[in-house]
């Protein structure tokens, strides 16, 4: 418990520091997401038992990094076209060492993870003044319900949610996660509106409610989806780089699902009116 809380606080402080230094060093966010994306892709490859295949790890991690520095669709098309060529050339050359099914899983993850995390970078462009606030919401909309569900499940959890996929998750934990997500994001809106801007800027309460309520369910979907992948690979955690949490993917699995959701909501209903 102590390691989990300490690691969580450290991660929050890390992202807050990126916000503080955004104006002086805007590439900090791109670099952080690129690092997270590359490690997450590597953890999937390692879970599949393919980490010693350089012809898979090198192009996969390279693509995961480069995507985070491209804010135009044409650049993404170029990166993934080159990645596709590399992967299939490798498959033709090493077809005795790796199956098409294994390569297909790697390919899908190299598409899903970097592009999903890229929305944290892209959401910043939706507002010159408040883009980094949007980026924080992308991350916190996953972590807040996760923390709420963890503590609610510890205190009140009795009914299993998906025992065959994630035995520790409970219905009570899910309810606690949803409630904490809605309440805390509304409080964040209040702090932003009155604590930071003294009422001169107005948070969009409807947007924050949609993100808080529906985002909590999206967060659980991401968590359970990657838990299913772990069970398929017969592993408990994707890694051990974050004490109390596991690997990068164990902490960012839900972010991979919530970040695109927040991006879409923010495009339709900007968080700051």
Pairing relationship of beta strands 166-170 and 160-162 according to DSSP bridges: antiparallel
pLDDT digits (tens, 9 = 90+) for 216-264: 999 999 999 999 998 888 888 887 777 766 789 988 999 999 999 999 9
pLDDT, mean of residues 141-153: 91
Better-scored residue on pLDDT, 262 or 153: 262
Structure-derived torsion over alpha carbons of residues 266, 19, 251, 39, reported in degrees to the nearest 10: 110
pLDDT, mean of residues 128-148: 91
Query: Quick check: is 29 in a domain?
Result: yes
Query: Quick check: is 130 in a domain?
Result: yes
Q: What is the pLDDT of residue 74?
A: 82
Q: From CA 271, how far away is CA 252, in angstroms rounded?
A: 22
Better-scored residue on pLDDT, 3 or 265: 265
Distance of CA 253 to the CA centre of its chain: 5
C-alpha dihedral sign at 142, 143, 149, 152: negative
Instruction: Lowest mean pLDDT of 64-68, 93-97, 179-183, 209-213, name the range.
Output: 93-97
* Percent of the residues in the chain that have a pLDDT greater than 70, as a whole number: 94
pLDDT at 24 over 80: no
Query: Quick check: is 126 in a domain?
Result: yes
pLDDT, mean of residues 10-30: 76
Query: Quick check: is 19 in a domain?
Result: yes
How far, CA to CA in Å, does 271 sit from each of 113, 135, 138?
24, 11, 11
Q: What is the pLDDT of residue 233?
A: 87
Maximal C-alpha separation, the chain: 65
pLDDT at 8 over 70: no
Q: What is the pLDDT of residue 69?
A: 93
Q: What is the pLDDT of residue 192?
A: 85
pLDDT at 93 over 70: yes
Q: What is the pLDDT of residue 2?
A: 56
Better-scored residue on pLDDT, 166 or 18: 166
Query: Quick check: is 273 in a domain?
Result: no
Band of pLDDT at residue 266, cut at 50, 70 and 90: very high
Instruction: Lowest mean pLDDT of 2-6, 121-125, 263-267, name the range.
Output: 2-6
Q: What is the pLDDT of residue 157?
A: 80
Domain coverage including residue 200: 2-268
Q: From CA 204, how far away is CA 271, in angstroms rounded?
A: 5
Overall domain count for the chain: 1
Q: Which of 197, 68, 161, 54 is nearest to 122 (CA)?
A: 68
Q: What is the pLDDT of residue 35?
A: 93
pTM of the predicted structure, to 2 decimals: 0.91
Q: What is the pLDDT of residue 7?
A: 59
Query: Quick check: is 240 in a domain?
Result: yes
Asked if residue 55 lies in contact with residue 94, where contact means CB atoms within 8 angstroms, the answer is yes
Query: Quick check: is 42 in a domain?
Result: yes
């Amino acid at each position: 418990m102590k390691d989990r809380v300490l690691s969580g606080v450290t991660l929050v402080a890390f992202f807050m520091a990126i916000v503080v230094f955004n104006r002086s060093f805007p590439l900090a966010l791109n670099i952080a997401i690129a690092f997270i994306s590359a490690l997450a892709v590597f953890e999937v490859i390692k879970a599949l038992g393919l980490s010693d295949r350089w012809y898979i790890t090198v192009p996969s991690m390279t693509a995961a990094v480069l995507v985070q520095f491209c804010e135009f669709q044409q650049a993404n098309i170029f990166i993934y076209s080159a990645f596709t060529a590399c992967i299939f050339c490798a498959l033709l050359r090493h077809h005795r060492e790796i199956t098409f099914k294994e390569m297909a899983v790697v390919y899908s993850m190299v598409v899903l993870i970097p592009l999903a995390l890229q929305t944290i970078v892209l959401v910043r462009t939706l507002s010159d003044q408040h883009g980094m606030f949007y980026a924080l919401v992308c991350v916190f909309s996953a972590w807040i319900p996760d923390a709420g569900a963890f503590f609610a499940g510890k205190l009140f959890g009795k009914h299993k949610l998906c025992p065959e996929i994630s035995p520790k998750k409970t219905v009570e934990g899910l309810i606690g996660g949803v409630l904490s997500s809605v309440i805390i994001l509304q409080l964040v809106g209040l702090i932003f509106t009155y604590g930071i801007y003294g009422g001169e800027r107005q948070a969009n309460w409807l947007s924050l409610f949609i993100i808080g309520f529906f985002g909590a369910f999206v967060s659980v979907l991401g968590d359970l989806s990657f838990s299913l992948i772990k069970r398929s690979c017969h592993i408990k955690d994707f890694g051990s780089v974050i004490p109390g949490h596991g690997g990068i993917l164990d902490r960012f699995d839900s972010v991979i699902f919530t970040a695109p959701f927040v991006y879409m909501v923010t495009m339709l209903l900007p968080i700051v009116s």
